[in-house]
Amino acid sequence: MKFTYCSSTVAAIAFWATSNGYVIGYSAGHISGVSGLSGLQGNNSLQTRTSGNNSNRRTLKARQSQPAGSLVNYTCQSSFIDFTDREALGKFNVEWCPQNTYQTQNSVVWRLTPECGTTIVFPWDFQYGKIEGRIRAAHGSGVVSTVLLAGPEPADELDWEWVGRDTLTAQSMYFVKGQRVDPVPQYLNTPGGIPQDMAAGFHNYAIELNKDSVKWYIDDWLVRTLPRVDGVPFPVGASRPRMGVWDGTQTSGWAGTVDWSQGPFTAEMQWFKFTPYC
């Protein structure tokens, strides 16, 4: 039997951009979250963001090369990638800082150092489907681990994010055309009793995009459902998987500040599954 657990907190939010352009919001006196796509793109110094008159929109100004996620490349072929296979990483594009993405005997590791975080991209899209991975999040103040689905800019986006100073919770968020729709992220624990430290061991995480809903899963338990409602923006264009770690120091307190003396900081994934619904 499965159950759904989610926060019911809803509050008025004021949005604005920090001096570095990360999109943030406050709710009930605390920062509510940052776009994972913004953070992963922030791994790449080519990303520029502006606030303008619409401060909660992320705007892509310039890139020196065409990123893997900028063109839609639909497929109906499912993929299961096991990182005990030494060729597994070759099925992804390492978009930034390749020295900080590497394989061990049974996982791919994403490392955050003072020089850079890292981003890998699965080079296929689906219209509807499910992504799954067995992941250990990174621990440490300021360190953010992210797995998401995103479309072309301005992006529809579905996030799993783990903020390293609180690894008893995972945060789920979504954006439509670069705009924050969620008033607050939902803070979700491992199901089945006492919350487990998500940086201490591996857990299965999934995002499922359907025509009429989005669903987030932890260890095969449904932990959040976002129904599609007429007249309400819905992230139907979130299509391509991206994942990695990034430095959240410049997010005005949401992620905390990295203490580099405690690093390097790593997250890991043992396997990844991509299932289009065609």
Known catalytic residues are 157, 161
Residue from 67, 34, 37, 29 nearest 142 by CA:
34
Beta bridge partners of 218: 205, 221
Q: What does the block give as tokens for 272?
A: 């990844």
